[in-house]
């Protein structure tokens, strides 16, 4: 990792815990559930990224493949083609760091070369056998997200999440990924029933014993629609409510589409919470 990227990585990691961290979503995909097709072209992607930075996001999460449940898998070559022309431009144009939303080691490596300082792996190092080594060798930070191939309403979802994290953290340790570069994500919306998604948010505090920051991604997701019966485009209020609940439970990083609204809401929440602790 080059010196400037290392400095961006360390500055980003150093912010975590001082206040709520907002991660802006930038999908370079035609089929993402909320904004598919909007930001595939270079100028549109750059404009959206700059908008999110101006609104106060701390990092921009770039995705070249939709990871929503039921999405058609994308070949490695296609995913690389989607990010190649845009990621480098973003790294040179933005005042905040970049992360790459991928579960493929080759994509993660290339993204790191292009400037990404964080790998956001929706399979928590467990899908691609080379991912843990890719993270270690590129010196990027990593989000380990819980996932399941199918829903099972009979399981204790927190026990399943913990078992998954334990396996992922063992892979990280074996590859030599420093603990201070690891972030956990309970994977809301992935392999869980609506009730289990609610439970995953409500029980974030039970993950504190890992001693690692928790990222939460609930933005516009279908479980919110099942709770309040509103379409994707009308889920901002539901998303804000879920993220504030997650903040109260101990989440540190919030992956969102609507940056400006979350920056304000989380700042107000944090100010009130901190005043109550004095």
Q: 109, 255, 267, 278: which is the annotated catalytic residue? A: 255
CATH code of residue 93: 3.20.20.20
Residue, of 85 and 61, whose pLDDT is higher: 61
pLDDT above 70 coverage of the chain, percent: 96
- Is 9 catalytic? The answer is no
List pLDDT tens digits, range 222-233.
899 889 888 888
- Is 167 catalytic? The answer is no
**Cα gap 163→169, rounded to integer Å:** 10
Q: Which domain holds residue 254?
A: 3-277
Look at residue 181 and tell me whether its pLDDT is greater than 80: yes
Cα Rg of the chain (Å, integer)? 17
Q: 221, 267, 273, 278: which is the annotated catalytic residue? A: 221
Strand partners, 145: 185
- As a whole number, mean pLDDT of residues 200-222 equals 96
Q: How many domains does the chain have?
A: 1
pLDDT confidence bin for 71, thresholds 50/70/90? confident
Q: How far is CA 215 from the centre of its chain?
A: 6
82-91, 93-102, 121-130, range with the lowest pLDDT? 82-91
- As a whole number, mean pLDDT of residues 146-170 equals 97
List pLDDT tens digits, range 8-55.
999 999 999 999 999 999 998 774 445 444 555 678 889 999 999 999
Using an 8 Å Cβ cutoff, are 174 and 167 in contact?
A: no
**Cα gap 14→215, rounded to integer Å:** 15
Distances (CA, A) of 32 to 1, 72, 141, 187, 257: 30, 10, 24, 16, 12
**Cα gap 137→60, rounded to integer Å:** 22
């Amino acid at each position: 990792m080059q010196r400037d990227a290392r400095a961006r990585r360390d500055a980003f990691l150093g912010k975590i815990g001082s206040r709520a961290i907002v991660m802006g979503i930038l999908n370079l995909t035609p089929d993402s559930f909320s904004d598919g097709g909007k930001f595939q072209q270079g100028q549109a992607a750059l404009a959206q990224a700059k908008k999110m930075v101006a609104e106060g996001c701390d990092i921009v999460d770039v995705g070249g493949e939709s990871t929503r449940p039921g999405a058609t898998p994308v070949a490695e070559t296609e995913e690389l083609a989607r990010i190649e022309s845009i990621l480098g431009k973003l790294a040179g144009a933005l005042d905040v760091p970049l992360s790459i939303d991928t579960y493929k080691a080759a994509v993660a490596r290339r993204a790191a070369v292009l400037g990404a300082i964080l790998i956001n792996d929706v399979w928590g190092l467990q899908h691609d056998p080379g991912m843990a080594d890719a993270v270690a060798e590129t010196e990027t930070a990593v989000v380990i997200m819980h996932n399941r191939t199918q829903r099972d309403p009979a399981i204790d979802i927190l026990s399943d999440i913990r078992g998954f994290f334990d396996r992922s953290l063992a892979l990280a340790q074996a590859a030599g990924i420093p603990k201070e570069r690891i972030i956990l994500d309970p994977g809301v919306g992935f392999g869980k029933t609506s009730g289990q998604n609610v439970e995953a948010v409500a029980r974030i505090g039970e993950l504190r014993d890992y001693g690692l920051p928790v990222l939460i991604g609930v933005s516009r997701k279908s479980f919110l629609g099942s709770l309040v019966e509103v379409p994707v485009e009308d889920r901002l209020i539901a998303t804000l409510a879920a993220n504030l609940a997650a903040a109260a439970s101990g989440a540190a990083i919030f992956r969102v589409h609507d940056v400006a609204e979350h920056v304000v809401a989380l700042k107000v929440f944090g100010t009130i919470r901190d005043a109550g602790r004095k």
